Each structure stands twice: as C-alpha cells, then as structure tokens.
Structure 1
C-alpha cells in the first residue's frame, strides 16, 4: 500500500504520547522492568512509524522494521505487566510465568512464521497493564485517570479490530491513526494524573529485580 506522507508523519504522534507516558510512569513505579518494558514498547512503535515513513517516500520495503514491533511490544508489555502487578505491594507473580508466556509467543511466531502469536501476547499483557494502572488510579483517588485508562483499554481493543480488517483503505488508516493518537494521549494524561498522587513505592531509592 502507498502511504501519503501526512499519514506517515501522524504515525509518530502516538509514539510520542506513549513515550511521554512511559517517561512519567518509570519514576512512579520505580522498577527496572517498567523502564525496560516501557521503552521497548516505544521502540516498537517508533520502528513501525519509521517503516511507514520510508514507504511514504518511496523507499525500500524494510519489512523487519514493521514486524519487529510485534516482538518488542509483546516482550515490553509483558515486562511492564509483571512489574506493575507488584507496584504498591511488592508481591509479584512468579517471573518465570511471565517470561515463559513471552518466550512461548516468540517461539510460536517463529514456528508458524507469522506475528499473530505475539499479537496475543501483546493483547493479554497490555490488558494487564491497563487494568493495573486503572486499579492504582482508583486506589489513589485519581478518578479522571480511571476513565482515561478505561478509554485506553477500550481503544486498544477497537484498534485491534480495525487493524484486523483485510481492506485497509487510506480512510480507514486515518481513522486508526486518529484513534491511536487519542488512545495513547489518554494513557499519557492518565499516567500524569496518577503520578500527581503519592508514589505507591514507599521511599525506595534502589532498583532490585526481586522487588
């Protein structure tokens, strides 16, 4: 498909919004897995945007740039989900279970030579991240953030439905880009509102993977 340059440039807006949200979330959560996972997701979105920009200016079709997104998002959201599930309590589910889930997705994607297994990993892990942030917001009394994370969750599923349509017209892709920008802007604003409350990690000055 030929992408207009304007559409390719707009694809960077949700990446920027996601980066802002991650930058705010990292010092709030105070766990290295949130930082690692968050920036992997940003990198995944950035690579996809770069691929679309190259296509728009009639450059080579570097398919790996687009497909890398699925692996980076899947692993990134899984890391974030595991870390955030223990934010505020320090009690996290077994790390091996989340690592195994992500690795199973990678292995399945390689075996079937398709990215849909990583899409499943991304969807499940992103859902856990969204629900956890929503619950943290409700506990902190950040009512507006609750609605923003709820919108982000709903938008994620709507984006999946739109992106799965076989007929990807330019008009449909404009709708997807606008929704995706709103979706991650809501995430960034929700994180900002949440971080204005007291951090759930009491006086932690040190990153430890065991926490």
Structure 2
C-alpha cells in the first residue's frame, strides 16, 4: 500500500493528544492520591505514549520511503498492555493492589510470546483502558466531563472495530486516525476540566 505522508503525519496527532492528557492526569493523581500513585501513573503514561510514538514513527518511515522496521509497529502492543495496566491501577489505587495489575500485564506478555499472537495484549490493553475511562468518568462531576470520558471510552471500542476490518484502505485509515485524534483530544480536555474542577473545590 502506498501510504501517504500526510496520513503518516496525522498519526502523530492522537499521540500528542494522549501525551497531553496524561501530562495533566499525573499531577491530578499526585494531588488526590499521593506522589507514589503519581509516579506510577507517569511511568504507565510514558510507556503508552512511547508505544504510540514508535508506531507513528514506523508509518512515517514507510511513507517517506524509508526502511520498513516492523518491530516499531509490533512493539506498541507490548507497551500498551503494561502502560494501561499501570494507569488503571493509578486511578483505582485506593481499591486495588498494584501487584494484581502488574501480574495481569505480565500474564498477557507471557501468553503473547508463548502463542505468538498479540491478542492477549490487546485484551489487557482494552480491559485496563476501559477501567481507566470508567473510573475517571465516575470521578467527574460535570456533564461535559462525563460526556468527554464517555466519548473516549466508546471511541476506543469503535477504533478497535475499525482496526479489525480486513480492508484497511487509505480512506478507512483516514477515518481511523481522525477518530483516534478526537478520542484522545476528548480525553485530554476531560482530564483538564476534571483537574480544574478539583482545584476549584479546594
């Protein structure tokens, strides 16, 4: 497939939006749950952003006629699972032990390597991303925040269905990347509003 350079550049937009949301989420969790939780959230967020950034870099290289370094795309699955697991624990730290989420991620990594497939990692990423969005949605007090977190959650599932389509045409990928950008932009704005609301209450 002749991958257009413009589409490859657009692929960085959801990564930037994701990074912005996580950058806002870490200090929020540090204030509300403590520095240790904030550090875990920061580590998990950095891993997730790295995974997205590496895949976007792979697409850019391919679009620019560079080498097809497939590992840059595949490693995303191996980074998303532990990254989202740490983020999910951070927002649920008061009710769940860290070792349970770490064990869940490790089990997925081991299963993926053992069977030579990435679906166990995709399952872990989906479960943990769902827990993250639902917990943040429940923490929200304003309808706008709830709508944005809800859109983020539903949009993530819609992205999964689009990505599972066998006919990954350029048109379909434009739709995917546009939706992905909106999904993570909604997350960033919702976290910003949530943190701002928290500051007002204090």
Per the alignment, residue 117 of structure 2 pairs with: 114
Distance 2:78 2:142 in 1: 32
Higher percent of residues as helix: 2
Per the alignment, residue 138 of structure 2 pairs with: 135
Per the alignment, residue 73 of structure 1 pairs with: 80
Distance 2:82 2:162 in 1: 23
Per the alignment, residue 194 of structure 1 pairs with: 194
Distance 1:3 1:101 in 2: 36
Per the alignment, residue 34 of structure 2 pairs with: none
Structure 1, unpaired ranges of 5+ = 203-211
Map 1:30-109 to 2 at 5 A.
Answer: 30=30, 31-86=38-93, 91-109=94-112
How many residues are treated as equivalent by the alignment?
Answer: 193
Partner SS for 2:20: helix
Distance 1:114 1:58 in 2: 28
Partner SS for 1:196: helix
Partner SS for 2:136: helix
Residue 177 of structure 1, CA deviation:
0.5
Partner SS for 2:197: coil
Structure 2, unpaired ranges of 5+ = 31-37
Residue 59 of structure 1, CA deviation:
1.2
Distance 2:113 2:2 in 1: 28
RMSD over equivalenced CA pairs, Å = 1.2
Higher RCO (C-alpha 8 Å, min separation 6): 1
Per the alignment, residue 123 of structure 1 pairs with: 126
Distance 2:177 2:6 in 1: 11
Distance 1:60 1:21 in 2: 31
Contact in 2 for aligned 1:83/1:92 (Cα 8 Å): no
Worse overlay, 156-165 or 34-43: 34-43
